[in-house]
Structure 1
Amino acid sequence: MSLPDTQKQQQPANLSITDIRNNSATLSLAATSNLSPLITAGLSQKNAIFPQSSARFDMAQNSKTSPFHKNGSLPASYGASDEPIRSIPTLVLYDDAGLDIYDAITYVEEYYLTNAEMQIFMDLGDEIMDSCVGDGGVLIELGVGSMRKTKYLLDAIVRQGKSVTYYALDLSAQSLSMALSPLASHYPTIQFVGLLGTYDDSLSYIQTNIPRPVNSTRTLLWLGSSIGNYSRAEAAEFLKRVQTIAMDTGDTFLCGIDRRNNAAIVKAAYDDPKGVTRDFILNGLDHVERILGIQDTFKRDLFEYVSIYNDDLGRHEAYYRSLVQQTLVLSATETVVLEKGELINVEYSVKYSAQDVQRLVDGAGFYWPNRWTDASGRYDVHLFQKAPFHLMGISPAKKGVPTLTEFEEIFKVWDTISLTMIPEGGHLEKPISLRHPFIFYVGHLPAFMDIQLSRCLAEPFTTPASFTEIFERGIDPDVEDPSKCHKHSKVPDAWPELTQILEYAERCKQRIRSILTAHEKQPQKTGGALARVLWMSYEHYAMHLETFLYMLVQSPNIQPPKGFLVPVHLSPSNKRTANPKPAPPSHLKAITLPPGTTHISIGHNDSESTDKTVTSVNTHEFGWDNEHPQRQAAIPESILHSKLLFQTRQVTIGEYRAFFIASKENEALRPASWTEDGNFVKTAFGSIEISRCINWPVFVSGTQAGAYSLHASKQDGKHYRVPTEMEITCYRQFLNKDIEGNYAFRSWVPRDVLPETGVIGDGWEWTSTVMEQHAGYEQSKIYPGYSSDFFDGKHCVVLGGSWATAPRLAERLTFRNWYQNVYPFVFAGFRLVCDV
């Protein structure tokens, strides 16, 4: 509904305000009408937690007034561990007076957040708007303030000559009018719409009433690190709701987020010398009295503001501390006795590391293509996108039969890769001579799945049955002698038409959808044999996604994946990121083993012969034949005695390039992941200037990695080599940082290396271990040639996962991959070990 005409008077013609309130029961922004019961409950029930870690920081920061012991522990009255304390809802801080004080806080020198965000928009506004807002686009800001920061984005839009509509949300019609009227007058080419309502009101309104413009985008803005007012779980849940309810594929979300900064910097920002923040917090007590309809109960002079930065939890914590023992009369029937020194929580301001942001977007189901940082490196503006698929957040480490949802997501991945990244008519291209053309794989994945289902269920193949004869298995010839190749399907004189194959693939998908739907209704009726086929079909899809992708990046005709933004730093027009600083050095580090550790567990128990006895197909851990059985292996003496040092990260493009140049640019050493002139790196977004990628891990063959290790040994006078499978397994299990890696399409390109990384992510890791039959190995009867065809002495084990590896593969520590040591095309890098 629109506001009455009387409220529209004196408003610019390009401004309107719409009431979108829908009696939402969820508290958002400054909604206070339902706070009374929450205040009473929080004060009487002790529903917040004061962590011991907060006690330590309080002791350090408030030594004169702290009621805590000198060792940082809570007094006996609080108990020996994290204790429940009283709380008051954060929203009491944001009445009209509180909002005025908060605006004053944003001008305080120590409160760096506002100036940092403003500086990002002043310096990089054109780049930000160019990356996410097109002509005819829509901007929707969740919460409207003084607009001091947003106007720099509007300036950029005007400079770029774009026509946009800007929506701003608030619970106050007066605030909307006061904030938007001057902007509307200043930017006559932009349409302004004020939305009167809560966050919840806005989500359904956006989807129903603000359609995505044709050939443009909708971009939501949530600025000022407002996300910090939520716990990490609450923030992920809110963003998930935004993504699900209010966004279409391709829409973006611009979010300002404060970092986990130095404790003293954060403490000063929330406890400034002039006491402005203190006034903001204590004003909340006045507001509590008005909400409860009481007077002279929450007396300011009987409370003090306690500000703590809890580095352990990455958050600032705001409390009221009672200076005396006192009785609070909340109503005619409710009183609360506060002890002297007792704390009442009123606010948390959560801060985010890069790893925290990654977990946030994983939980929310977003793709995270871009980030802009202020000059001091303390604050970021992140760009998230609702992409065509998202593999995280679907119980990625789950065992047993993949869910229908997981299958649907992997189908979306495959469709994005196989249908949007190849130009029309290009499926017959064969960018790697050792492989079939693209069109084979379009038929191979559904055919493999259908063949396995038909054999297991004793049912006919999906029509046309002739497709099973040409698409069952592809070629994988010897790189050095292509005439040698394992058994494979007959290669036709002419491949079927693409449309025929796609129709066949859809019928195969419908077949497995029906089977999975029945399974999820009655999983007890799914036997172990069928469960294995369902699991095998999923992981076969996941593995061939990478095969297809590393073929694609070799093609000069590759197209960017539809629906995914290109990271800003890869744009040739972005001179700011053209020459990054060299990566931090890769340290050499010995593994510290738990006391008494002499052996390590390898593999898991999963024999096909026991499928009939599997009792729970949704919890059984399936694996390929080379993962079985579980066995104990002795840890090498060199690791036990700290005589083996590991590089803490993979070798970078910049480091390998220096070696390549020193080797007089020997063509045998040039990675296939580079263009022939050595000036560009091949990626899913096309060829990128190598100067922009020098800190990525380099993708090479195993033999090229070995050559680098020999060169490094000569340079340093040490003995470097490519590690064995056992050595990487020890590094991986005892370092235990894999989960933070770049895999599952978190990024469509590798990311810059960090000083220390786990094995999962960016690229697989080469080992020097030859793929061969191990003790207890049982050849698969369902897929006999899966491993055994490659026990030829030429294939080496690779571990971990790349940016394109599905979670079920990357996160299963027993999963083993392998390639011919001389095969140059895969997304595989390496780190070295040094024998002391």
Structure 2
Amino acid sequence: MTSTIFTLPPTRRSSSGSPDSDTSPWSLRSEIESALGGTDEPIIPGSGEEDKNWAFKRSVPTVVLYDEIGLRLYDKITAEAPEYYLFNDELNLLKAHGKEIAQCMGFSRSNKNDQGPPDGTEYPPEKRWKPARWGDEAVGKWNEGVNGEEGLGGGWQRGWDVVELGAGALRKTAHLLTALASSLPDPPSNTSTLPPPITYHPLDLSYPELNRVLGEMHEAIGDKIEGKVACVGLHGDYEAGLQFIRDGKLAQIRKSFNNKPENFTEELFVTSTASSAPQAIPTDNQTYQEDSPILSPSSIHLVTPQDAPCPLPAMDPRIVQGGSSPNSYSSEPSDEHMPALKEISHPRSAAREAPAPRISSYPAEADRPLHFIFLGSSLGNFERPSAAPFLKSLPLRAGDTLLLGLDGRPTPGEEGNKKVEIAYNDPAGHTKRFEEHGWDIVKGELGVKGDAEFVGRYNEELGRHEAYFRSKERQSIHLPTYGQNITIEEGELLNIEWSYKYSIKEAMDLFTAADLRVVNSWKAPDSEYRLWLLERPSVRFIVPPSNDIASDKLSALNMFNSANGGELLKVKGLPKWEEWIALWKFWDHITLDMIPKELLHQKPIDLRHICLFYLGHIPTFLDIHLTRLTKGRHTEPEYFKDIFERGIDPDVDDPTQCHDHSEVPTSEEDWPTLTQILDFRDRVRQRLLIIYSDLASGKMPLDRHTGRVLFMGFEHEAMHAETLLYMLAQSPLTRTPTAVKEPQWVLLREKWDAAKVENKVLIVKGGEILMGHDDAEKDDEECQTGESWADHEFGWDNEHPHISQQVKTFKVDSLPVSNNDYLSFLSSTGAFDNLKCETAPASWVNTSQTDTPEWKIRTFYGPVGFDVGGSWPLMASKLELEDFAKWKGGRLPTEAELRKLWESEEGPRVNGTVNNVGVKNWHPVPPTNTYMDNAGNIIHGHNGGVWEWTSTPFEGYEGFVTSRLYPGYSSDFFDGKHFVVLGGSYATIPQIAGRKSFRNWYQSNYKYSFVGGRVAYDA
């Protein structure tokens, strides 16, 4: 096993230093002085009477605990204090689930039978659009070629970087590294000439600790990871290490390391530079100052990484400089703006037919997958408001992961509190000796003579363990940096560290704020300690857009120097520019990555157009409405508006009956080419960009009519993204989505089986239910400034007006109808034996090649068995779900009843703390019931990620007025054949799923959409 340590360039700014400067060199003494300086008023940690006894004014930095002696004392705790459950629980999780974690991270399997698909079959990937080249990742994977999994080629060429924040504890990290190494095949015979495929980088401020850990690792597991894992320590603080990674310089270390002899150290003098800004709208780095203690190092300041490039046209420099756009505020892209289009992520060339480029927040040469490890619940040492910014600062790209150890809140009450308090103050006194050694460091640095003892408690209200020094005597301490003396009274408390615990809701809120998706998690059997595997997908709608984020995004549009820019940020109903970027990543992933060439001119569903139509329809719809808005010219080619303006929703029983729609070509050669459509798409996006620029600069008025047009264009694209997905779900040619980690079905099945919940019949009390909202389109003309409609919520015409209905008391199932439920229904009624493709739910597929059918559930990752997806909500037509409900003795709920359920105390929520919307998963998941977490928070259930049918015919509310902008949007379907569906599916963006007034609709016998249902009963 080869190992070395690199010293990173110091970039750390002092949190104290001299009183007049924040650039003085950091020193332990100055850090201690700053903390001892204290506050004028005591801080009371809580709202109860008992909390007053724990008030404090001064603190001691946690860094005093972690010198070499302190680290050895900490090791004593982990080795000899079984009460400290955090260490042992995390250790046992890594022992028991290390291979699963490696698999979920994306490491290949040395034995393909370890965790294959549920049916034991592994299928070769679909061919991409571009021709494969020798050396490409996919070449030979399935034929033992250059990258063959059997032939050992690919893993040794691509590689992975694993960065642990803090040197960690050898006993824990060794299990993970061994699991990662064992996931790879044995090294080839010429391994001595090849670099190991995995490079492990422990990042720590303590050089001796790094040296010790790497040395012990060599002795303990060197033979197990030989040829597979190289150990390269990074000596520096977190800020220096993370910036080094953002700058893409891990590749530089590997290059240097691979040309050096074993067991050497080197000091790197590398100047850190900021990442390149996105080409769309430049983003200034957002800096957070963080002084909260963590295990090692104790304090850092955080820099949020810039967002990645996206499929957005580069903005013309004249816009940034405040130059005028063509045709006053008509904002049409003219020839002078077109050079900017060359910077689009999908340029006009053969590369158009390649998959979307990998989103990267740092240079391309660092494209090896990167996996961060942050164990020991070290994040608990951050104040809660500081934890999310730190996690958000981690430079994670698509395919990268973060393995986070995090302790949960214990069960409320004396027993839970006692468990935590003993963990942090064991009977043998190991923790006491560890903590009080920190006071010895203070005494040595400042020449203090007095003593202090360690005391602590668990604060149930704040969900944290609190550690303090309590002064044994009255003592005076001189602070030389500040030139002052302070007096610490006998019995006075000095805070030393917090250890926050996270309930489920707190953890979910943390991950949402940090822009992270949960890939999987593992819980200790005897505590609330968990390992969370997290990622930041390339396509995501995790973090709700905020004015703070938007102000950073749109700074390049000169809004702060304009009369209108401030208003643009305040208007809630206007789609933020970052929302458009997220939506375009979603759309482009579907259209360019999931639809192969051979599918473009096919109809996965006969009742819809060919796939290519929708690629042209979306930009055409937007361009038509932007043209009307600006009274300008249509984007070329103008004839697109004649074939792409409106799609179709024909009568299922008689497809010749259909509303007004565009006339489309009847032969393939008459359709525009893919390249022509994508060029057009880019020009329309550029046009929209210019409009946002003009709105921000004040050149174009920010009236409510403009906001409505932009809202319509945004949600129209989002709805069609879902339409395309449920179409693609019907085709075997559809490619697998790569925006999130591929689901490991066997592992998920085990997790879902363990967490299975039972259906309950809920009684929902009758009463008034409010539906819809007030959004009269005719009132737009009265709102000519952003301020006049800042809080307005847009919707579609069928959502207006706000109405009230009375609902009688009713009963309803807490869970929707599942695939297993429907299978039981078919079996009980004898229908299953004669089930055909025409009569089965469209979400099921017969995979048998014989006369004996074998029914499975469709997913974008291939069919899965009922052992995996049986508990998922059934996606089917209203008629199919209605038959099930009648068989069960019930019915489908009305629109008002379903709304009433979603507002009841025990009822589920569409977009609650735990949900499955916004492509967090590209498939349904098992639904859940409502429960209370250990912090007393109600975690409302969810339905697994489907819309829900109602028995209510689709029609306008009383007072309905047809939209002026889109007259036929709703009224064309007031035919008695369409019924209201509510909520949102796993493919619905949160902006739609989270709006309670939103109404969708389908024909009762339309069975392809992502719609499920639940059974209601008369009370």
Give the corresponding residue for 1:629.
801
Identity %: 35
Give the corresponding residue for 2:173.
150
Task: In structure 2, list runs of 5 or more residues that go unmatched.
Answer: 17-25, 109-154, 186-195, 252-363, 548-570, 847-852, 931-939
Give the corresponding residue for 2:655.
482
SS in 2 for 1:686: coil
Q: Tell me which of 805, 811, 815 is aligned to 2:994.
A: 811
Kept in 1, the 8 Å contact 2:410–2:527? The answer is no
Distance in 2 between residues matched to 1:213 and 1:696, nearest whole Å: 41
Following superposition, the deviation at residue 225 of structure 1 comes to 1.7
Structure with more relative contact order (C-alpha pairs < 8 Å, separation 6 or more): 2
Change beyond 3 A, Cα 1:656–1:348: farther
Change beyond 3 A, Cα 1:23–1:45: farther
Give the corresponding residue for 2:791.
619
Distance in 2 between residues matched to 1:807 and 1:506, nearest whole Å: 25
User: Which amino acid is 1:620 matched to?
Assistant: H
User: Which amino acid is 1:386 matched to?
Assistant: R
SS in 1 for 2:541: coil
Give the corresponding residue for 2:73.
101
Give the corresponding residue for 2:62.
90
User: Which amino acid is 2:622 matched to?
Assistant: M
Q: Tell me which of 28, 34, 40 is aligned to 1:38.
A: 34
Kept in 2, the 8 Å contact 1:761–1:800? The answer is no
Q: Tell me which of 873, 877, 884 is aligned to 1:697.
A: 873
Give the corresponding residue for 1:519.
695
Kept in 1, the 8 Å contact 2:56–2:493? The answer is no
Per mean C-alpha deviation after superposition, the further-off stretch among 159-168 and 619-628 is 159-168
1:247 and 2:421 aligned: no
Structure-to-structure mapping, 1:731-750, within 5 angstroms: 731-735=901-905, 737=909, 738-740=911-913, 741-750=915-924
Structure-to-structure mapping, 1:530-569, within 5 angstroms: 530-568=706-744
Q: Tell me which of 219, 225, 230 is aligned to 2:371.
A: 219
Distance in 2 between residues matched to 1:827 and 1:17, nearest whole Å: 53
Give the corresponding residue for 2:891.
721
Change beyond 3 A, Cα 1:477–1:336: farther
Give the corresponding residue for 1:3.
none
Per mean C-alpha deviation after superposition, the further-off stretch among 374-383 and 137-146 is 374-383
| TM-score using structure 2 length | 0.71
Structure-to-structure mapping, 1:433-472, within 5 angstroms: 433-472=606-645
Distance in 1 between residues matched to 2:805 and 2:367, nearest whole Å: 60
Give the corresponding residue for 1:169.
203
1:329 and 2:477 aligned: yes
Change beyond 3 A, Cα 1:602–1:116: same
Change beyond 3 A, Cα 1:338–1:477: farther
Deviations 1:509-555, CA, capped at 9 Å, x for gaps: 11111111222333872222222111110111111111111111111
Kept in 2, the 8 Å contact 1:368–1:747? The answer is no
SS in 2 for 1:346: strand
Deviations 1:576-633, CA, capped at 9 Å, x for gaps: 739825831122233479xxxx5333222111111111232553211110111123x1
User: Which amino acid is 1:210 matched to?
Assistant: L
Give the corresponding residue for 1:295.
448
1:371 and 2:524 aligned: no
Deviations 1:12-56, CA, capped at 9 Å, x for gaps: 7x222111132412679x984541243123x3445755113xx5x
Give the corresponding residue for 1:24.
12
Deviations 1:408-432, CA, capped at 9 Å, x for gaps: 1100110111111122332122111
Task: In structure 1, list runs of 5 or more residues that go unmatched.
Answer: 1-11, 56-67, 639-643, 714-719
Following superposition, the deviation at residue 85 of structure 1 comes to 5.5
SS in 2 for 1:590: strand
Give the corresponding residue for 2:236.
197
1:50 and 2:45 aligned: yes
Following superposition, the deviation at residue 443 of structure 1 comes to 0.8
Change beyond 3 A, Cα 1:789–1:47: farther
SS in 2 for 1:435: coil
User: Which amino acid is 2:82 matched to?
Assistant: E
Following superposition, the deviation at residue 811 of structure 1 comes to 1.3
Give the corresponding residue for 1:60.
none
| TM-score using structure 1 length | 0.86
Deviations 1:785-829, CA, capped at 9 Å, x for gaps: 111111111212111111221121111111111111221112122
Change beyond 3 A, Cα 1:197–1:578: closer
SS in 2 for 1:383: strand
Change beyond 3 A, Cα 1:414–1:370: same
Give the corresponding residue for 2:773.
604
Distance in 2 between residues matched to 1:219 and 1:629, nearest whole Å: 50
Structure-to-structure mapping, 1:745-760, within 5 angstroms: 745-756=919-930, 757-758=940-941
Per mean C-alpha deviation after superposition, the further-off stretch among 558-567 and 282-291 is 282-291
Following superposition, the deviation at residue 773 of structure 1 comes to 2.1
Change beyond 3 A, Cα 1:139–1:549: same
Kept in 1, the 8 Å contact 2:167–2:203? The answer is yes
User: Which amino acid is 2:1013 matched to?
Assistant: F
Give the corresponding residue for 2:343.
none
User: Which amino acid is 1:201 matched to?
Assistant: A
Change beyond 3 A, Cα 1:691–1:648: same
What is the aligned length? Answer: 770
Distance in 2 between residues matched to 1:387 and 1:165, nearest whole Å: 23
Following superposition, the deviation at residue 256 of structure 1 comes to 1.8
1:786 and 2:969 aligned: yes
1:183 and 2:217 aligned: yes
Distance in 2 between residues matched to 1:653 and 1:26, nearest whole Å: 59
Give the corresponding residue for 1:232.
384
Give the corresponding residue for 1:265.
419
Per mean C-alpha deviation after superposition, the further-off stretch among 546-555 and 105-114 is 105-114
Following superposition, the deviation at residue 323 of structure 1 comes to 7.2
SS in 2 for 1:174: helix
Give the corresponding residue for 1:357.
507
Per mean C-alpha deviation after superposition, the further-off stretch among 736-745 and 773-782 is 736-745
Kept in 1, the 8 Å contact 2:893–2:1016? The answer is yes
Kept in 1, the 8 Å contact 2:757–2:929? The answer is yes
User: Which amino acid is 1:545 matched to?
Assistant: A
Change beyond 3 A, Cα 1:817–1:681: same
User: Which amino acid is 2:381 matched to?
Assistant: N
Q: Tell me which of 76, 89, 104 is aligned to 1:131.
A: 104
Per mean C-alpha deviation after superposition, the further-off stretch among 460-469 and 368-377 is 368-377
Distance in 1 between residues matched to 2:402 and 2:208, nearest whole Å: 26
SS in 2 for 1:149: helix
Distance in 2 between residues matched to 1:213 and 1:549, nearest whole Å: 33
Kept in 2, the 8 Å contact 1:746–1:803? The answer is yes
Following superposition, the deviation at residue 229 of structure 1 comes to 1.3
Following superposition, the deviation at residue 669 of structure 1 comes to 6.6
Following superposition, the deviation at residue 284 of structure 1 comes to 3.0
Distance in 1 between residues matched to 2:56 and 2:876, nearest whole Å: 55
1:708 and 2:884 aligned: yes
Following superposition, the deviation at residue 758 of structure 1 comes to 4.8
Change beyond 3 A, Cα 1:792–1:357: same
Distance in 2 between residues matched to 1:524 and 1:86, nearest whole Å: 54
User: Which amino acid is 1:192 matched to?
Assistant: C
User: Which amino acid is 1:259 matched to?
Assistant: G
SS in 2 for 1:687: coil
